Structure 1
Amino acid sequence: AKNTRARHLQARVLFLDKAAKLLAEQQFSAPNESSSSKDDASPKHYNTGLPVVLASHLHTVAKRGQIRVDANVKRGFCKTCATPLLEGKTSATRVENASKQSKKPWADVETITCLRCGTKKRFPVKAQRQKKKSQR
């Protein structure tokens, strides 16, 4: 019964996700005539107001409707400033390995850095998840 009740909220969350990412993408593809040339050098100076507002609406709708947001949707936005994370435009991605001389291939961690606020998100890469205690 809960699934049918929240179906419209899930559709609204997906729409807000697509709209925020599309608008953020368009801001970087269209040249900005009103700003000076030195402002175009860094993505920090782009006006990301509307995509940020849509992202905050997305989180508000999900919280009020008590629905789960897909992990890929959550990973697409900065937790701190709600900027849509677009590779090379609003975020930078690196694969780091903090083990000694990078000897442990299972210790690779993907680090996504928001270029607007500097927040880093870290996700394990190729790591095997430990089995549940009941399955060991």
Structure 2
Amino acid sequence: MSKVKPPKTKGLPSKHLHARTSFLYQAATYLNLQTSSVEATAKDGTTGRSPETGQNCRLQALSPIALELGSDLQQVSRKAQLRLAVDMKRTICKRCNTILVPGRTAIQTLENSSKNRQKPWADVLSIECKLCGGKKRFPIGAAKQVKKRAREPASKDTTSTTSMDDIRQTGSIHPTSTDAEPTTG
């Protein structure tokens, strides 16, 4: 008699790689949130002042370790050919691999370039990285287009004047001898 094998569990094929990417993302996010605001100083050592308002310019002191972890996250996911979750991908800058945290490392704005902003389905969320200036744009409010296989096929033959109701009533498309006018001659 053969041994009964336990059923195989349906799990991730590369669980350790997903765990690694998740850790790198969490660590980079944590380090970005722990950075403190530091006054910008000019090369001569004076405090940076905005020429228009005279107020102190405040810049985020980004952790170089957080930037390195973001870069490692991208490298691991590319080398292992992993698909990152959509929410995770949207919070990573494509240019500098910074974790985009609204208010800290990124500026979020809602744009609508339609005339007088009349079209609510034209809203676009724009996320700009403060470090490199890269922009990401995501449509908001627009209904997703139905997949092609789920759409109803459009009738291509519009030249025919016979409808399905006419066929059901008469039983056939061709006129019968009682329906047709007698021919003389």
When normalised by structure 2's length, the TM-score is 0.64
Q: Are the counterparts in 2 of residues 48 and 83 from structure 1 also a CA contact under 8 Å?
A: no
Q: For residue 48 of structure 1, report the CA deviation from its aligned partner.
A: 3.1
Cα distance in 1 between the residues matched to 2:117 and 2:96: 32
Cα distance in 2 between the residues matched to 1:40 and 1:70: 35
Which ranges of structure 1 fall in alignment gaps of 5 or more residues?
A: none
Equivalent in 88, 96, 104 of residue 119 of structure 2 = 104
Q: For residue 32 of structure 1, report the CA deviation from its aligned partner.
A: 5.2
Listed as ranges, the matches of 1:1-136 within 5 Å are 4-28=12-36, 38=48, 41-43=58-60, 46-136=61-151
Q: Please identify which structure carries the higher helix content.
A: 1
Cα distance in 2 between the residues matched to 1:93 and 1:47: 18
Cα distance in 2 between the residues matched to 1:40 and 1:21: 24
Q: CA RMSD in A?
A: 2.3
Cα distance in 2 between the residues matched to 1:15 and 1:126: 32
Report SS of the residue matched to 1:17: helix
| Structure number with larger C-alpha Rg | 2
Higher relative contact order (CA 8 A, sep 6+): 1
| Paired letter, 1:65 | A
